[in-house]
Structure formats: C-alpha cells, structure tokens
A = this chain, B = another copy of it.
Amino acid sequence: MTTHAQTPPKKSFKIQMLAARETAIIQSVNRLLAEKGFDAMTVDEVAAEVGIAKASLYKHFTSKEELACAAMVAAMRKAQAFIQSLPAEQAAIDQLKAVTRWTMTLKLDGLMPSLPSQNSSLRATLMTNKDYMDGLMEVSDSLGGWIEKAQAQGQINQALPAVAVLYTLFARACDPVLEFLKMGEQHTDEQILDLVMSTCFDGLSAR
C-alpha cells in the first residue's frame, strides 16, 4: 500500500487547530490545578478559561479525571525535558539540586499542579495511565541514578535509603513552606528558594 501524496494542508490545519486547543486546555487545567487543586476545580471553570463550550471539552477528554491526567502527563514531560537538558558532565549532586530548584520555581510561580496526595479517584486514573506512569518512572530512574551516584561520591548521606531521598526531593514540589514564606512577603522568590534549598540539603541544624 502506497500513499500518493502528502497529507493535504487543509486537514493538517484542522488537526493543528485541535492540537492547539488541547494545548490551551492543558495549560488552563495546569494553572487551575496549581491554584485550587483537583476537587475545587470545576469543569465549567476550565471551559470558561479556555473560552470553549463544556461539550467541546468532552470531545477532547471524556472525564474530569482525564483532564487532570493530561495535565499531569504534560507536567511529567516537562520534567523529563528539563532533566535531559542538564549537562551530563555536571556533578550528580548539582543535577539533583538543579531539578529540585526548578520544581520549586514552578510551585512559586503557581504552575505546579498539585493533586491530593491522599486517596481520590485521580490516583486510580493516574495509576492506570501508561503515559503518566512511564513519565514518572523515567523521572524516578533519572533522579534515582543521580542519587546513587551522589551517594557513592560522598555528596549525599549514605545512611539514607535512595528512595527516601527521592521522596524527599519529590516532596519539595508541594512543600507548603514555599507558600507560607511567600505569603509572609518578607522574602523574594529567590531568597525563598535559597532558604528551602538550604533546609533541604543542609538541614536545620548548624553545620
């Protein structure tokens, strides 16, 4: 079976429109998830913010869960891209610090979608979503590799299980300390980042 010619531009245009719309939807969902979380976000809000009809939303995504899911997949992809953009010759500990700082920057900018760490229908949907799980796995593997390397190089406490370190870094993405310090308005975002990076890697105790 051979194809005679290129796909006609008309069709491509239509597809592009659809793709652009999906991107817009996902951006809005991402923002709303960061601002109010999954439960407080309503499908009406999403449609209103994107500027399309609710019914059109359901043409793209069959449920609220899938909407959030798509946003999480996109977020995971962004994380992967950031991780891969880091120079490979950097020390493992510095790569870990760079990723951690990046996620906290997202959070401070209101761009880190946060899902209820507890129960909820979302968890179930996410767990069965291959794209999400693949992304999560890849990110975990990358960070896990750096963690073990940094431990071997004596940069990270070797008494800590690698998985505990991994969770601790993940948790920075939803650290309420960031919001609280931001609310206090006593520090710039840069200062807040430095503070939390310090407590995370150097701890509270004096060195």
Contact = CB atoms under 8 A, between A and B. Distances in A.
Given A93-B205, A177-B167, A198 B116 contact: no
A204 B204 contact: no
Given A36-B119, A40-B118, A164-B195, A204 B205 contact: no
Interface string A188-207: 00000001101111111111
Interface in A95-132: 114, 116-120
Interface in A156-191: 156-161, 163-165, 167-169, 171, 174-177, 179-181, 184, 186-187
A15 to B, nearest CB: 37
Interface of A: 35-37, 39-40, 93, 114, 116-120, 154-161, 163-165, 167-169, 171, 174-177, 179-181, 184, 186-187, 195-196, 198-207
